[in-house]
Amino acid sequence: MSIHKNQSFPARLKFALDGLSFALRSERSLRVQLAAFGAALIALLWLRPGALWWALVVLASAAVLAAELFNTAIERLADELHPQHGPGIRLVKDCAAAGVLIAVLGALGVAVAFAAHLLWRPA
């Protein structure tokens, strides 16, 4: 049985924050994506769009960050279980990276739609 099971909420929150802290220290791409999210929040504060745009940008950004965290977890687990990096492990890691790519493309789609909205909205 896992030591993480049936713990109090504060204990489980600490586990999650420990994971986030580790990933931020070890993954440059997560730091870049977090900086992009910060820039998006600054743009939203400056441009003051409607609530729907806030929701779309925050949701798309959260999806990218979550995908990167899942990718980090999968890569670390694969490295721990199979340090020899066979073709199956390479495929697992490639698929996890593709998940991040899809999330990023979705977030870019939201950014393009937001830019189009700003450019072609009535004055």
Domain boundaries, the chain: 28-120
Q: What is the pLDDT along the chain (123 residues), one digit of tens a residue?
A: 567 778 899 999 999 999 999 999 999 999 999 999 999 999 999 999 999 999 999 999 999 999 999 999 999 999 999 888 788 999 999 999 999 999 999 999 999 999 999 999 776
CA proximity to 79, closest of 92, 70, 68: 92
Please say whether the beta carbons of 56 and 87 come within 8 A. no
One-letter amino acid of 66:
A
**Count of alpha carbons within 13 Å of 115, Cβ hemisphere only?**
7
Q: Say if pTM beats, i.e. exceeds, 0.95.
A: no
CATH number attached to the domain at 28-120 = 1.10.287.3610
b/e code 87-110 from CB counts within 10 Å (16+ = b): eebeebbeebbebbeebbeebeeb
